[in-house]
Amino acid sequence: MPTKNVTDERLGKFKNKGKDPAKLREKRISECVELRKAHKIESFMKRRNVTLSSLPDEEALSPDYYSTDTVMVFSIEDIIKEVNSDIKEAQIRGCQAARKLLSQERNPPLKAIIDAGLLARFVSFLSMDDEPTLQFEAAWALTNIASGTSWHTQQVVESGAVPAFISLLASPMLHISEQAVWALGNIAGDGAASRDILIECNVVPALLARIAPDTPVGYLRNLTWTLSNLCRNKNPFPPLSAVMQVLPSLIQLLHFSDKDILSDACWAISYLSDGENERIDVVVKTGIVPRLVELMGHDELSVMTPALRSIGNIVSGSDLQTQAAVDSGVLNVLPQLMRHPKASVQKEAAWALSNIAAGPCKQIQQLITCGLLPPLVEQLRNGDFKTQREAVWAVTNFTSGGTVEQVVQLVQCGALEAIINLLQVKDAKVILVILDAINNIFMAAEKLGETDKLSLLVEELGGLDRIEMLQNHDNEMVYQAAHALIEKYFCDSEVEEVKVDSTADSFVFKTPDVQTAFEF
């Protein structure tokens, strides 16, 4: 069937033993990059103007407090003069004025402060343990600069701020330590290169040392977010040594009740599991999979989404890794998520389902037993197109690796009718995947000698007309695939209808809306 060559690229991105027994299941990667971008909506990689949980009142923090109105009249030239002064009070005024300018929501003058040569001065203030107010204001200003573009962040890194911030983590003043956590999170969120600079400077043990029974929840929120940024990016992945350091603490944080801590800890696990099977195995061996499955049912979307993503990554691994998720009850949660009111959740649930359907027939049977076929067909019929696309892949994977009996059950649930109706979509890749699924169903019918009856069913469902129309499709591959189906299964002389004598042992191709039953 020509569609098999056409869809090799996508199939190679699935773990799909049914299609190619020589390979272990493989992850789907960049083609479905929109799944990977969803977190940008939920949480930014860098943060500016986050309220520190440990921050004292500003008046108490800065004895020489200047109101916002006063600070706003400071020009860049004034700030340069104050910051470069030898007088402590002037330095504090200058740093505070710079910090407030850099905290503006719109167009903060990041480059102007950098071009003024103030970064080295700010970094020098970070080591002044006897001047905590100055230390804090300088740290905050640098944090805001690091929240800008990659270029801005790079300037902070090159100014020598990383070792200074790591040292500040041990500050006895909690708000200063937390400011360092926030700054390091911004740097880690800039990309793999900045992340790895932090890791090489031993940021991980310094951060983990701040997790203690008496650490305030607000502080732990910022710290968990920073840890999640250290787990982010996969070109390259974080060093395995750092991952092994972080994982025990992430597991600990995943048993907190705070939704923000849970959200960022789940995102961290999703980043760590978004890779080759060896990476997934590191996560699975921690024993965290049951907790992730539990969090898939969390009331907060911000927790449930990354938990679902993590499980979706795990079930795109090996058969054993998928079975770990199945044994933890993922198939009991997926039906509700397939029917979730939010389309993005339906899509991710369908993606997870499609990867489980790419497994051996034992796992496919567990899908059937746990009632996944009805919600799958519902999404094929009525889902958002992105969800339908994932559901179509679930059908193709299911029909590739399932037994004849399992394929019959899929058809009986209405999947054949649903994918035939989707042959009208404009996306040529989706059409090719559907034609491949139809071909797989015919191959199952061939094993039972029932291809003629299946041909009649496809025709009655309007499939023949649609497949014939596809022979006029602009896409050459669609034309070839449609033509091959017609040639192989629909070019015989008129098939004589046969009266069906159903028995308890027969397998029947039928759909709820078609009266005529076709017996396998």
DSSP secondary structure string for all residues of 234-273: -TTPPPHHHHHHHHHHHHHHTT---HHHHHHHHHHHHHHT
Collect the ranges in the chain with pLDDT lower than 70. 1-44, 49-51, 56-73, 492-520
Mean pLDDT of the chain: 87
Residues linked to residue 487 through DSSP beta bridges, in sequence order: none
Cα(400)–Cα(219) distance, integer angstroms: 50
For the residues of 271-287, what is the DSSP string, one character each?
Answer: HHTSS-HHHHHHHHTTT
pLDDT at 8: 55
Residues 350, 418: Cα–Cα separation, whole Å: 15
Q: Take residue 437 and report the two structure tokens written for it.
A: 């699924």
Element spanning 519, H or E:
strand 518-519
CA angle 515/517/520 to nearest 5° reads: 165
What is the spatial distance between Cα 367 and Cα 309, in angstroms, rounded to a whole number? 19
Q: How far apart (Å, rounded) are the C-alpha atoms in residues 182 and 222?
A: 6
pLDDT of residue 50: 64
pLDDT in tens, 351-372: 999 999 999 999 999 999 999 9
pLDDT at 168: 98
* Distance separating alpha carbons of residues 320 and 326, to the nearest angstrom: 10
> Do 182 and 50 form a contact (C-beta atoms < 8 A)?
yes
pLDDT at residue number 510: 59
Contacts (Cβ under 8 Å, ≥6 apart) of 352 = 308, 311, 312, 315, 330, 334
Q: Say what the pLDDT of residue 469 is.
A: 97
The whole model's pTM is what?
A: 0.86
The amino acid sitting at 44 is F
Furthest-apart CA atoms within the chain: distance in Å:
101
- Residue 66 DSSP one-character state: -
Q: What is the pLDDT of residue 509?
A: 62
Residue 302, burial from CB neighbour count under 10 angstroms (0-12, 13-18, 19+): middle
Q: Would you list the DSSP string of 164-177? A: HHHHHTT-SSHHHH
Cβ(264)–Cβ(224) below 8 Å: yes
Angle at 339 between CA 333 and CA 341, to 5 degrees: 115
Q: 384-401: per-residue pLDDT in tens? A: 999 999 999 999 999 999
Res 503: pLDDT = 35
What is the rounded distance in angstroms from the CA atom of residue 279 to the CA atom of residue 236? 12
One DSSP character per residue, 26-44 reads ----GGGHHHHHTHHHH--
Helices (H), strands (E): how many in the chain?
A: 34, 2
